[in-house]
Amino acid sequence: MPRLIDHEEREREIADAALRVLSRDGLTALSVRNVAAEAGIATASLRRAFPDQDVLRRFCLGHIRQNVTRRIERVRGEGREAVLAVLHELLPLDDERRVELTAHLQLGALALSDERLRPVLLAFNTALRDLCAALIAELARAGELSPSVDQAVEADALHALVDGTALHLLWSDGAADRERALRALAARVEALGAR
């Protein structure tokens, strides 16, 4: 009897292989052939799902977004504790998230000149900004946000802080840098309630 294929698991394997190729070898190496080799599957079977690089690139961004969403949904708690836990999930604090961010940046650079990829990346960016707004709103709901805070401005500032911190951490691999970044985020969130 033929073995049944778990299509969701196969899709994750392909996406993870594509992100590894992007992260390790760069954008020029992202091809159906290279991803198939990395995933250990036949190129022809992968080509049916991804007839060109554009489809593969959008698939990669979608997979990164799903992974981020999945990790954030696992966060429990409320107020400052939950906000910090979500922010930590957005940073490249482990190998999986470092690979995702590196792949995201590779695709982001391409999106600057690729009109087909740009809307996907802009939607991702908007979702991250909306998440930052929701985190600020959670602080307000929990009574941990000063009433004088302009929530829209602080959401934009938090978004910029997360993006910048993530980029800095990508260029660093030291535990001291990670600790400093986490302390800076905690201090920023704490300061929002102290005005």
55-64 confidence digits (pLDDT tens):
999 999 999 9
* Single pTM value for the model: 0.88
Q: Is 132 exposed, middle or buried (0-12, 13-18, 19+ CB in 10 A)?
A: buried
Residue 156 inside a domain? The answer is: yes
How confident is the model at residue 58, as a pLDDT?
92
Residue whose entry in the numeric block shows the structure tokens 């991702």: 124
Residue 166 inside a domain? The answer is: yes
pLDDT tens for the chain, 195 residues long, are 555 667 788 888 999 999 999 999 999 999 999 999 999 999 998 888 888 888 999 999 999 999 999 999 999 889 999 999 999 999 999 999 999 999 999 999 999 999 999 999 999 999 999 999 999 999 999 999 999 999 999 999 999 999 999 999 999 878 899 999 999 999 999 999 865
How confident is the model at residue 71, as a pLDDT?
92
What is the total count of domains within the chain?
1
Residue 4 inside a domain? The answer is: no
Determine the Cα–Cα distance for residues 69 and 25; give it in Å rounded to an integer. 26
Q: Which CATH number characterizes residue 135's domain? A: 1.10.357.10
How confident is the model at residue 52, as a pLDDT?
86
Residue 34 inside a domain? The answer is: no
Determine the Cα–Cα distance for residues 158 and 133; give it in Å rounded to an integer. 8
Residue 6, token pair as written in the block? 């778990």
Range of the domain at 93: 53-192
Residue (of 75, 98, 96, 100) closest to 87 by Cα position: 75
Helix residue ranges, H only, 28-174: 32-39, 43-49, 53-73, 79-89, 95-111, 118-141, 151-170
How confident is the model at residue 195, as a pLDDT?
57
How confident is the model at residue 185, as a pLDDT?
94
Residue (of 98, 79, 89) closest to 169 by Cα position: 98
Residue 97 inside a domain? The answer is: yes
Q: Which amino acid is at 76?
A: R
Determine the Cα–Cα distance for residues 23 and 68; give it in Å rounded to an integer. 17
How confident is the model at residue 182, as a pLDDT?
95
Residue 177, token pair as written in the block? 């840098």
